[in-house]
Amino acid sequence: MATAPSRHHDRRISPVFLGIVAVMAVSGWAVWTSYAASRGLAVFLFVTSAWVVSLCLHEYAHARTALHGGDITIGAKGYLTLNPLKYTHAALSIVLPVIFVIMGGIGLPGGAVFIERSRIRGRWRHSLISAAGPLTNVAFAIVCTAPFWLGALDGVPYDFRVALAFLALLQVSAAILNFLPVPGLDGYGIIEPWLSHAARRQVEPFAPFGLLAVFGLLWIPEINSEFFRLIYAILDALGVSDLEAAAGRSLYQFWPDLTLAPQG
């Protein structure tokens, strides 16, 4: 009987996460109503807070799937509370991805929750735990683009529309990057259980550098251009034009140029 309250506490939604959701709601309302004094600042707060919410849900999906897969230590680590401060590397999981959004408008994946893989039985379970995170980004992208591919944009204010388009861009880019079969990223975690023991041992030393390698490659203009061409093609298939996504990005990065973007 003494363990029940502890388990309930381990799964109680964190006030930190609720605070982030509150910022998202208030700033989203400000973008929708044009109540804020600065359009760019309102879009910045809305997209950034929504992006952090998606990061929390991404890590929660990993943790929840691991819990059902057999790692019963997940709850005690605080991963089920959606509190980003409980992650193994909070700076890598939250701060770094936000910095990349601010700098380059790229939804770069962050660090991960620590899962005791030895408690998980079955290769399919290991793969599903790794896939759960980026699939959350896919779901988030579908939700963000739903008004576009459903043709339900009548009455949606311009700023809110382009903010959603840019947020969808971040989710699509995060999903693509996370699914890359690069050591240290979720894509590699999906295929790793199916590799031979020798192959895994050879790749293991490179895992800490996988994210840095992806970051370095994205700084190469030709690769960056092809990467965004793929993102815009996916967004176009979801009903979001590249002009809308670019307008949202421009409005989000309001600090270089404080002149207002033309509405349309």
**Catalytic residue, candidates 59, 116, 222, 244:** 59
- What is the DSSP track for 148-184? HHTT--TT--HHHHHHHHHHHHHHHHHHHHHTS--TT
Enter the DSSP assignment of 35: -
Q: Is 59 a catalytic residue?
A: yes
Q: By the 8 A CB rule, do 84 and 90 touch?
A: yes
**Cα 185–chain centre separation:** 13
> Could you give the CA distance from residue 194 to residue 199 in angstroms, rounded to a whole number?
10
C-alpha to C-alpha distances, 34 to 42, 168, 248, nearest whole angstrom: 9, 21, 15
Q: Residue 249 corresponds to which amino acid?
A: R
**Residue numbers annotated as active site:** 59
